[in-house]
Structure 1
Amino acid sequence: MRGTFLCHGIVWNAAGPRLALASPDGIPAAVDVREGTLLGFRILEAGRFCLGSHRVQGPQARQHVPCPLQVPAERGGQCINCFLNDDLRFLHDAHRSGAAPEGLRAYLAQPHWLYVATFASGTSKVGTASDLRKRLRLAEQGAVAARYVARAEDGRIVRVLEDMVSQQTELTQAVRSAAKLTGLQAPRSLAELDDINADHARTVRNLLARVELEGFAAVDQTWELPGPGRRVIGSDSRTAYPLELAAGTHGLLLEALLGSIALIRTVEGGPAYLADLNGLKGRRIELGPYQSQLPPVQVSLF
């Protein structure tokens, strides 16, 4: 695929991870980012641009609306106009305020799962996933170990539980992408990460046992790390890609993906690096036969 696009970042679906794109007139496109994909591109302009907004019609239906102004992003990947017109802006506060558009209410009415996810460094978080994206959500997050600790009747109840867990335990509700990448440069063993996750999940289930709230049931289900993620964390490569994705030209030969973090080489048989492809989110790029111009390696004489 060639052409100019606005990059919407890495998304996961049943077919695997894809780099989501949109043409200048807003038509969606995507590039598979599986093993063997050669992703060549150049950054067209500095800065991040608005990704538009969403209209939610129900659990499986939503419409993306491109930014009519195509202006730089101001808040969370959006301009202020698109932010104010985005149904998803109500998502994380609807259980407190009760305010949500009708389509989002229909989305929230489906069953949701409460999970505990642990990343390569051992950092852990509590989070939620809709029933339809139960497993894909954790793959998209870049978790290494995870367990589902509750199934709730709807998205309101699960977010009440999420708030309670983050208030009464050491678990946060977010882990930054930069921290995930740093963790992969010095990861703990899979066995250690699973033990950490199991301990946190046990703490949360013990907490849930004392909760006087209807509409949920505690569960004990283990999520399985997909094969590509195992290849990333099992790789001997611990070096971050030495170029800034926000500028210049790049040619990335993809080997595996963990969340949005790719194990890549710039030439076949060359050294492997770790690169967070969500660094392209909001960037205007041109796809083509571009290559990475890596800085020279300084070799010590002593």
Structure 2
Amino acid sequence: MKNKPIYVELEIGCTMDELWEHTQDPRLHEQWDLRFSEIQYLPRKYESDMQSFHYETRIGFGLKIAGTGETSISSAPSTGTRMSTLAFASEQRFSLIRKGAGYWKYKESGDQLTFMTLFDYQTRFGFAGRFLDRHLFRPLFGYATAWSFDRLRIWLEERIPPSVIAERALIHYLSVILIMLLWLYEGLVPKLLFPEAGELYLLRKLGWFEGSELRLIQLIGILEMGLGGITVVWHRKKGIYIVQAMLLFLLTAPIVLFDPELLAAPFNPITLALPMLGLCLTAYWSSRYLPQANRCKRKRSPLLRKEGV
């Protein structure tokens, strides 16, 4: 079964010239596009020749995928559209992509521009390569394209450099992962696996839930683990961090008020609550101007299919 081409479409609030420059100038292009670490135009013998280019993509561990391609441009001033077509290929034996082709299309639509791309490629390694591409590489490649498009949108609309956007995204995702892991640990280890190690004693000392302390501890543990999962799913919603800050206060305040001697211990509720609160504030702050791949359209409209675009 043939894999579907990758298609991404996004509306961007800027001028045509701005969008054109940030996508056609290699020095600007490589700043926002996750798929390329370096793009370099090669000299042309004649002005009418197609523009050749060399590209590199770092994949980690000192490895990089390199290849070459050709691009050409066309425009239709009467319809307010421009198009850039390209063909690319890699001769490296460990590159999954053998060769491919696609286009970038720019279309004026009122006060905004519609920026769209469609491309497809052939893979190496026979059935194994096609299977890997279908179930892993192509979905990731499509996601990276859409995420990059939205990073470009933020750059053009909000004037935030791509490097700053990437740093904010890294801080955000690391904060979210740490919050999730802490909630999972707090729910599983001291409440579900080893409640007798201290959690049960503290609840019994309060004297509020006589005879039901163990069940309540287990329920709180399950809810905390669920909150860890919800944090990942709703990590873009700022309200989830406000809720967590309130829960941290509700879980910590009774223990501190009724057993202040715990504050003298090297590891106490405050030493856990304050770092978690800091992570929540960091995730809250960094969720602003966070690129979203799902902001992009990933399927062509029937009209574009009929036009062969």
- Same fold by TM-score, threshold 0.5 exceeded? no
Where relative contact order (Cα < 8 A, 6+ residues apart) is larger, the structure is 1
Normalized per residue, the structure richer in helix is 2
Normalized per residue, the structure richer in strand is 1
Give the TM-score normalised by the residue count of structure 1. Answer: 0.27
